[in-house]
Amino acid sequence: MARQDALAPRSGTGAPMWEYRESRENPALAGIRDRSGLWINGEETEPLSGRWFSTIDPATEEHLSMVAEAGPADVDRAVGAAREAVAGWAAMPVAERAKSLFRLARLVQERSRELAVLDTRDGGKPIREARDVDLPLVAAHFFYHAGWADKLEYAFPGVEPRPMGVVGQVIPWNFPLLMAAWKVAPALATGNTVVLKPAETTPLSALRLAEIAAEAGLPPGVLNVIPGAGETGADLVGHRGVDKVAFTGSTQVGKEIRRRLAGSGKALTLELGGKGAHVIFDDAPLDQAVEGVVNGIFFNQGQVCCAGSRLLVQESVASEFVDRLRRRLSTLRVGDPLDKNTDVGAINSAAHLERITELVESGQEEGALIYQPPCELPDRGFWFPPTLFTDVSQSHRIAREEIFGPVLSILTFRTPGEAVERANNTPYGLASGVWTSKGSRILWMADRLAAGVVWANTYNKFDPASPFGGVRESGFGREGGRHGLAAYLRGVG
Amino acid sequence: MGERLAVRKTYKLYIDGGFPRSESGRTFPFVSGGGSEVVHLSRASRKDLRMAVRAARAALAGWTGRSGYNRGQILYRVAEMVEDRAATFAAQLELGGSSVSDARAEVAEAVDLLIWYAGWCDKYVQVTGNMNPVTGPFFNISVPEPVGVVGMVATSAPVLRGLVAGVAPVISSGNTVVVVASPAQPMIAITLAEALATADVPAGVVNVLTGFPAELAPWLASHMDVNAVDLSGVHPDALPDLEEAASHNLKRTGRWETPDANLYRIAAFTEIKTVWHPKGR
Over residues A185-201, mean pLDDT: 98
First and final CA of chain A: distance in angstroms?
57
First and final CA of chain B: distance in angstroms?
88
Q: State the pLDDT at residue A104.
A: 98
**Is A276 at the interface with chain B, CB within 8 A?**
no
- Kindly report, residue by residue over A350-407, the tens digit of the pLDDT: 999 999 999 999 999 999 999 999 989 999 999 999 999 999 999 999 999 999 999 9
**Contact state of B272 with A475 under an 8 Å Cβ cutoff:** no
The 8-class DSSP code of residue A267 comes to E
Q: State the pLDDT at residue A11.
A: 47
Q: Would you place residue A17 in the very low, low, confident or very high pLDDT band (cuts 50, 70, 90)?
A: low
Q: Residues A149, A222: contact at Cβ < 8 Å? A: no
Beta carbons within 8 Å of B261's beta carbon, 6+ residues apart? B113, B116, B117, B165
Task: Characterize A430-458 residue by residue with b for buried, 16 or more Cβ atoms within 10 angstroms of its Cβ, and e for exposed.
Answer: bbbbbbbeeeebbeebbebbbbbbbbbbb
**Contact state of B250 with A258 under an 8 Å Cβ cutoff:** yes
> Strands A35-36, A277-280: parallel, antiparallel or unpaired by DSSP?
unpaired
| Planar angle of CA A275, A281, A287, nearest 5 degrees | 90
Helix (H, G, I), strand (E, B) or coil at B39: strand
Is the pLDDT score of A19 beyond 90? no
Is the pLDDT score of B244 beyond 80? yes
| Residues of A tagged active-site | 271, 305
Q: Tell me, what amino acid is at A487?
A: A
Report the sign of the C-alpha dihedral through residues B30, B32, B35, B38, in that order: negative
Q: Would you place residue A101 in the very low, low, confident or very high pLDDT band (cuts 50, 70, 90)?
A: very high
Beta carbons within 8 Å of A204's beta carbon, 6+ residues apart? A30, A32, A36, A55, A64, A65, A67, A118, A122, A176
Over residues B87-96, mean pLDDT: 93
Q: How many CB atoms lie within 10 A of CB A356?
A: 21
- Kindly report, residue by residue over A200-252, the tens digit of the pLDDT: 999 999 999 999 999 999 999 999 999 999 999 999 999 999 999 999 999 99
Residues facing residue A410 across a β-bridge: A311
ipTM of the complex: 0.95
Is the pLDDT score of A1 beyond 70? no
Q: Which residues of B touch A (CB under 8 A)?
A: 127-128, 130, 132-136, 138, 140, 142, 147, 227, 236, 239-244, 246-250, 252, 263-264, 267-268, 271-278
- Kindly report, residue by residue over A41-83, the tens digit of the pLDDT: 999 999 999 999 999 999 999 999 999 999 999 999 999 999 9
- Kindly report, residue by residue over B172-212, the tens digit of the pLDDT: 999 999 999 999 899 999 999 999 999 999 999 999 999 99
Secondary structure percentages of chain A, helix, strand, coil, to 5: 40, 15, 40
**Contact state of B243 with A492 under an 8 Å Cβ cutoff:** no
Fold of A277-456: Aldehyde Dehydrogenase; Chain A, domain 2 (3.40.309)
Q: How far is B113 from A417, CA to CA, in rounded Å?
A: 39
Q: How many CB atoms lie within 10 A of CB A140?
A: 21
Q: How far is A458 from A360, CA to CA, in rounded Å?
A: 27
Is the pLDDT score of A23 beyond 70? yes
Q: How far is A366 from B77, CA to CA, in rounded Å?
A: 55
On the CB side of A412, CA atoms within 13 Å amount to 15
Is the pLDDT score of A15 beyond 60? no
**Contact state of B140 with A463 under an 8 Å Cβ cutoff:** yes
Q: Residues B156, B74: contact at Cβ < 8 Å? A: no
The 8-class DSSP code of residue B29 comes to E
* Residues in A 209-268 with any Cβ partner in B closer than 8 A: 251, 254-255, 258-259, 261-264
**Contact state of B264 with A463 under an 8 Å Cβ cutoff:** no
Q: Would you place residue A164 in the very low, low, confident or very high pLDDT band (cuts 50, 70, 90)?
A: very high
Is the pLDDT score of B158 beyond 80? yes
Distance from CA of B158 to the nearest CA of A (A): 21
CA dist list (Å): A417 to A279, A424, A453, A481, B60 = 12, 11, 19, 31, 17
Over residues A305-328, mean pLDDT: 97
DSSP secondary structure letters along B234-273? S-GGGHHHHHHHHGGGT-EEE--SS----HHHHHTTEEEE
Q: How far is A67 from A71, CA to CA, in rounded Å?
A: 13
Q: Residues A196, A226: contact at Cβ < 8 Å? A: yes
Where do the domains of chain A lie?
A: 27-272+471-488, 277-456
Q: Residues B174, B71: contact at Cβ < 8 Å? A: yes
Residue of A292, A344, A300 lying closest to A137 (CA atoms): A300
Q: Residues B134, A466: contact at Cβ < 8 Å? A: yes
Over residues B132-149, mean pLDDT: 98
Beta strands in B147-255 (DSSP E): 149-153, 176-180, 206-209, 228-230, 252-254
On the CB side of A219, CA atoms within 13 Å amount to 19
Q: Cβ contacts (< 8 Å) between B240 and chain A: which residues? A: 262-264
Q: Comparing A27-272+471-488 with A277-456, is the CATH topology the same?
A: no
Q: Residues A173, A253: contact at Cβ < 8 Å? A: no
Q: State the pLDDT at residue A8.
A: 53
Q: State the pLDDT at residue A5.
A: 54
Is the pLDDT score of B2 beyond 80? no
Sheet holding A52-57, edge to edge: A35-36, A62-68, A52-57
| CA quadruple B216, B221, B224, B227: dihedral, nearest 10 | 120
Q: Which CATH class is domain A27-272+471-488?
A: alpha beta
Q: State the pLDDT at residue A3.
A: 46
Over residues A428-453, mean pLDDT: 98
Q: Residues A169, A198: contact at Cβ < 8 Å? A: no
Q: Cβ contacts (< 8 Å) between A140 and chain B: which residues? A: 135
> Strands A62-68, A52-57: parallel, antiparallel or unpaired by DSSP?
antiparallel
Q: Residues B204, B176: contact at Cβ < 8 Å? A: yes
**Is A161 at the interface with chain B, CB within 8 A?**
no
> Strands A431-435, A453-456: parallel, antiparallel or unpaired by DSSP?
parallel
Q: Residues B106, B93: contact at Cβ < 8 Å? A: yes
Q: Would you place residue B250 in the very low, low, confident or very high pLDDT band (cuts 50, 70, 90)?
A: very high
Over residues B20-31, mean pLDDT: 95
Q: Is A136 exposed, middle or buried (0-12, 13-18, 19+ CB in 10 A)?
A: middle
Q: State the pLDDT at residue A2.
A: 40
Mutation site, A428, A449, A471, A474, interface B, largest B CB count within 10 A: A471
Helices (H), A165-314: 176-189, 204-215, 230-238, 251-261, 286-298
DSSP secondary structure letters along B83-103? HHTHHHHHHHHHHTT--HHHH
Q: How far is B247 from A340, CA to CA, in rounded Å?
A: 43
Set out the domains of chain B in order of their start, with CATH numbers: 40-278 (3.40.605.10)
Is the pLDDT score of B95 beyond 90? no
> Strands A244-248, A166-170: parallel, antiparallel or unpaired by DSSP?
parallel
Over residues B96-114, mean pLDDT: 96
High-pLDDT (> 70) share of chain A, %:
96
Q: Tell me, what amino acid is at B56?
A: A
Q: How far is B7 from B189, CA to CA, in rounded Å?
A: 20
